[in-house]
Amino acid sequence: MGKIPGDYLQRVYAGWLGKIIGIRHGAPIEGWTYETIRDVLGEIEGYPADYLPAFAADDDSNGPLFFLRALELADDPQRLQPQDVAQALLNFAPYEHGFFWWGGYGVSTEHTAYLNLRAGVPAPRSGSVEQNGAAVAEQIGGQIFIDTWGLVSPGNPEQAARLARAAASVMHGGNAVYGGVFVAVCISLAFVREDIGAILAEALSYIPADCEYARVVRAVTDFHAAHAAEGWRKCFAFVHDNFGYDRYPGACHIIPNAAAMALAMLYGEGDFVRTINICNMCGWDTDCNVGNVATILGVLTGLRGVDEDKWIRPINDLLVCSSVVGSLNAMDVPYGAAYIAQWAYRLAGEPMPEPMASILARAVDGCHFEFERSTHAVRARAAGPVYLRNTDEQAHTGLRSLKASLPNARPGDRLDLYRQTYYAPEDFFDSRYDPDFSPLAYPGQALHASVRLADGAMPVRASLYVRDAHHGEIAVAGPVALEPGRWHELAGRIPPLRGARIEEVGVRLQADGLRGGRLGVYLDDFYLDGAPDYSVELDRERAEVWTQSHRAVSQFTRLKGLMYLEDGEMHLTGADFAEAYTGRHDWTDYEAAFALTVQQPGAYACANVRVQGAMRSYAAGFIGEGTFALAKNEGGEYRVLAQAPFDWKPGATYEIAVSAQGDCLSASCGGVTVSARDGAYRSGAVGVSARGGAHIRLKRIEVRGG
């Protein structure tokens, strides 16, 4: 196929944002029938629910982003194998909580395949019909997690099909794999085709002509050709009678939902809003179906015709996830689009165009506003209504920025433009798929923002600040009086803090002068960089109660085991293994110190560094009786790299210091030091782990560098 299309960057954002819009649109009525939707809601024309204050994690967005990270783990991304995707699944999914539906072995496809993989059943056998039976293997997940393989393959359907087949087969088989291939190819073709009917027809050529998935798409296409003027409801009656849930086994079979998707795209006639509303009205697995078609239509049509206030503003670019890596669980939509785009250019062997290449090299998760309509989840706080919009009127770097306007401001009025960098239960409508978080910002880092006074706006002084849960608000830089006609680059280091949990970073704008008017500014290049210098003091942290069964410790994500706070310490224990993590996934070279107590001995009790997930980290601590060791987590099993005799005692508190510098690792405790060289994992967070029934208590973690 040809080169990556010139408008790829804007369209990959539109496709990924479309996915999030579709998921949110369908989530409130997931599992409803057409009749229930019709009788309760009437004609759907917008989001069925507000999800205030924010929309929580959803499996339909967890899967696509984290399975794509298999490209990082693969020996050869160009030849991605099912086992590479299996490792990504095991690495990022918490054990039987969060991420996706844990409905039980033999009930949920994903749960079944996950436990198969954990038990050593390799992919693709782990998700196959031969291993799990058709009723399990052909559930809908084969296509709902597949979007990113199409987004990363613009105009290259062969690549999309190959990658999607490898990914879908980890947890699915038969028609569910064909559905994954079909959807990924549709997305890939949407970058280079203009007609949705032609896209569906061409995508069918990538799956077996005699499979049930192809049969249902052809049947809906033929019905539409004969009855297009009679409306989509007549087609849905045909689908219901011939391809309904009653005709297919399992909890959520892919075929009825594939029919609803094909119907919506054909009768939607290339209109984004009409398509997702029809798809939602059909019922069944609405968030999955609408998410897939919204990705395809987002790429095909872009965001034209999508009302910003109605559809885009409620999202505000926020994407909540529920992996074991807490710093990846509160990301924005542009970050996901940028990550996808980086891999698209790498796979194509092409350089990313400027200025985006330089912008992302500086801070891939920073606020650059280069995607049209993007806000990067920036929020506003003021005494009156604030109007935020993405604009090409001005830019400090690149072509776009965020414009903020507070009409009728008075001298002394304040406008804060900020990013929330930590989330808690009270920030969400519900705890769907159990998200937990680690902060995005840390003491020791530098905060940057570029600000420009809008033409005709009243005088303003600008400064940078952070808000910490335990230390309150802290000034970082400024204030600086903004001069008309020029950009001001603000930067300042967040001071080191002991016992910190930064919850907000922002730009403060103070109305100046003697008379009122419009407070208006442009914001660009809003990002963090630099190394952390802070500590987590567990006596300052809190228990976070989402539901009766979902309880967490602030700042920490849990892989497995029992985790709770008591007497100013965090306890972690498990019958077989237990692990918990905090900090950022992209810290590189740093030193960490842990105040750790082994309350009950077991196989081992350790502090972890360079944690990249459940399958990839280093550990330092007490492995067996009388031993202090440094170990490497290789696919969930720890291999000792270095060890030394150490007469540790249960009940005693020890300071474990770990240094990770390049490929040099060292750990010390009570005068004993062990070291090794290993360059497999060059970045990652921190955490603690216990195995073989060990019960550990954590009082403090200090981190410097990064």
pLDDT per residue as tens digits for the range 593-634: 999 999 999 999 999 999 999 999 999 999 988 999 999 999
CB 264 within 8 Å of CB 284: no
DSSP state of 139: B
Q: What is the pLDDT of residue 2?
A: 57
The β-bridge relationship of strands 664-669 and 672-677 is antiparallel
Peptide bond into 53 cis (omega under 30): yes
CA distance 235 to 35: 15
User: How high is the mean pLDDT of the chain?
Assistant: 96
**In this structure, what are the phi and psi dihedrals at residue 667, rounded to the nearest 5 degrees?**
-145, 145
Copy the structure tokens of residue 5: 């299309």
CB–CB of 367/526 below 8 Å?
yes
Helix axes 212-227, 254-268, angle to 10 degrees: 30
CB 316 within 8 A of CB 402: no
Q: Please choose, from the candidates 433, 578, 458, the residue with its C-alpha nearest in 3D space to the C-alpha of residue 57.
A: 433
| pLDDT above 80: residue 398 | yes
Q: How far apart are CA 501 and CA 675, in angstroms?
A: 31
What DSSP character marks residue 312?
A: I
Q: Which residue has the tokens 């399958």?
A: 615
**Count of other CB atoms within 10 angstroms of residue 91:** 24
Find residue 139's DSSP bridge partners. Answer: 253
Asked whether the predicted pLDDT for residue 6 surpasses 50, the reply is: yes
398: left (phi over 0), alpha (psi -120 to 50) or beta: left
- Structural contact between residues 584 and 438, judged by C-beta atoms closer than 8 angstroms: yes
CA angle 607, 502, 416 (to 5 degrees): 165
Q: Are 367 and 529 in contact (CB under 8 A)?
A: no
Q: pLDDT tens-digit profile of 228-242? A: 999 999 999 999 999
Residue-wise pLDDT for 412-424, tens only, equals 999 999 999 999 9
pLDDT at 249: 94
- Asked if residue 258 lies in contact with residue 247, where contact means CB atoms within 8 angstroms, the answer is no
Separation of CA 471 from chain center = 29
Question: What's the mean pLDDT in 313-322?
Answer: 96
**Closest C-alpha to 570, from 550, 591, 554:** 554
With cut-offs at 50, 70 and 90, classify the pLDDT of residue 430: confident
Q: Which two tokens stand for residue 411?
A: 């001298």
Q: SS3 of 327, please?
A: helix
Give the DSSP letter string of 255-310: HHHHHHHHHHHHHHTT-HHHHHHHHHHH-SSHHHHHHHHHHHHHHHHTTTT--III
**Residue listed under structure tokens 């809190």:** 542
Looking up tokens 């009525």, which residue turns up?
29
Give the distance, in angstroms, between the CA of residue 370 and the centroid of all CA atoms in the same chain.
Answer: 20
What's the CA angle centered on 260, arms 258 and 264, to 5 degrees? 120
> How remote is the C-alpha of 480 from its chain's centroid?
35
More confident residue, 3 or 89: 89
What pLDDT score does 308 carry? 93
Longest dimension (CA), the chain: 82
In order of their start, the domains of the chain are 8-320 (1.10.4080.10), 366-529 (2.60.120.260), 535-705 (2.60.120.560)
The confidence score (pLDDT) of residue 1 equals: 47
